[in-house]
C-alpha cells in the first residue's frame, strides 16, 4: 500500500513527465526503477574513483621518471649552446679571412 501511495504522489508531482530525448512517456514505475538504478550506478562510480586514485599514484611515479628525462634534455641544451658558440667563432674566422684578403690587396708589391 505504501508503494502505491508513493507512486501516486510521484504522478501528482509530475515525476512521470517525459524525459528529454525519449520517444514515449515513462510510467511512474519506470521512473522509480530508473532512479534506483542511477543510485546503484553512483555507488559503482564511487568504487571506480578509488581505483583511479590508485592509478594516480602510479602516474606520480611515472612523473618522477619524466623529471629525470627533463634533466637530460637540459644537459643536451647546454651542448647545443656550446655548438652555437663554435659557430660564432667560425664567423670571426671568416671575418679575419676577409681582413687578410684586404691586406693582400692593399700591400701588393
pLDDT of residue 21: 53
* 109 pLDDT more than 50: yes
Secondary structure of 50-61 in HEC code, one letter for each residue: HHHHHHHHHHHH
pLDDT in tens, 58-106: 444 444 454 545 444 444 444 445 444 444 444 444 444 455 444 455 5
Residues 98 and 73: their CA atoms lie apart, in Å, by 38
* The C-alpha cell that represents 101 in the structure block: 684578403
pTM, whole model, 2 decimals? 0.16
For cell 507512486, name the residue: 7
Q: How far apart are CA 26 and CA 32, in angstroms?
A: 10
The answer on pLDDT for 28 being more than 60 is yes
pLDDT at 77: 47
User: pLDDT (tens digit, 9 = 90+) per residue, 1-18?
Assistant: 455 555 565 555 554 455
Burial 54-83 (b: 16+ CB within 10 A, else e): eeeeeeeeeeeeeeeeeeeeeeeeeeeeee
Amino acid at each position: 500500500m505504501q508503494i502505491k501511495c508513493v507512486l501516486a504522489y510521484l504522478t501528482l508531482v509530475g515525476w512521470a513527465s517525459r524525459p528529454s530525448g525519449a520517444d514515449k512517456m515513462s510510467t511512474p514505475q519506470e521512473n522509480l526503477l530508473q532512479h534506483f538504478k542511477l543510485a546503484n550506478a553512483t555507488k559503482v562510480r564511487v568504487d571506480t574513483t578509488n581505483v583511479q586514485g590508485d592509478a594516480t599514484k602510479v602516474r606520480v611515479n611515472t612523473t618522477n621518471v619524466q623529471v629525470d628525462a627533463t634533466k637530460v634534455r637540459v644537459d643536451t641544451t647546454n651542448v647545443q649552446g656550446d655548438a652555437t658558440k663554435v659557430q660564432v667563432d667560425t664567423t670571426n674566422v671568416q671575418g679575419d679571412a676577409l681582413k687578410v684578403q684586404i691586406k693582400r690587396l692593399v700591400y701588393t708589391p
